[in-house]
Amino acid sequence: MTKEEKVLVIQDIKDLLQDARIVYLASLEGMNASATSNFRRQAFKGNIKMKVVKNTLLRKAMESVEGVDYSEVFDTLKGNTALMIAETANAPAKLIKDFRKKAEFPALKSAVLDQVVYIGDGELDTLANLKSKEEMIGEIIGLLKSPIRNVLSALQNKDNASDQAEESAEVVEAPAEAVAETPAVEEASAPEASAETTEETPAAE
């Protein structure tokens, strides 16, 4: 590779890294051409950009990227290296784990997620279990909706309780109204009639 070609490769890698938030470095050593080709296809299907690069050129590209410090991963730039760039934080880790269900490789060398560095294959499970942006947004929306549902439920229960109380009050008041509307019994006039009859009767001579 000529010097000019190296400059072009470094610039190409730099362009990939410049706006990347999710960067993985994987080892493909031990994988044959067929397995490597299959891994590339799976990465493409998962919307993961993948490029096998020379370590020296990758390091120079990383050193030239502005705003991100990749120095912590430089010690992992040994042997065969595949650069993987994704939009979803756990996508490359899941791809590697799924691929390793049938094979020993690939292996995780390191990863840089929003400038947080992960070193070694032992971090693979941690990275695979990270929630995606969409999942986190869904959980946040669920948490925001939960209090609203509780308030609506409480208001509904309060309305139901008020309705029941009003119905009970109507049932209690009904007999009192019935009693109030019942006409009073007229006073008996029989005793007065008897008195008048007695006064009109002439005394015996």
* pLDDT tens readout for residues 140-185: 676 676 666 666 666 677 666 566 656 655 555 555 444 445 454 4
Q: Check pLDDT > 50 for residue 195.
A: no
* Of the candidates 43, 51, 42, the residue with the CA atom closest to the CA atom of residue 17: 51
More confident residue, 156 or 186: 156
Contact 134, 118 (CB under 8 A): no
Sheet holding 49-53, edge to edge: 49-53, 81-86, 22-27, 107-113, 116-119
More confident residue, 63 or 195: 63
CB atoms within 10 A of CB 96: 24
Domain ranges of the chain: 3-130, 131-172
pLDDT in tens, 17-36: 998 999 999 999 989 999 99
Q: Which two tokens mark 190?
A: 């029989």
More confident residue, 1 or 172: 1
For the chain, give the mean pLDDT: 80
d(CA 190, CA 13): 123
Cα-based distances in Å from 129 to 86, 93, 121, 124: 16, 9, 14, 9
- Model pTM score: 0.66
Q: Which two tokens mark 72?
A: 């912590």
Q: Which residues pair with 112 in a beta bridge?
A: 23, 117
Please provide the CATH number assigned to the domain covering 3-130.
3.30.70.1730
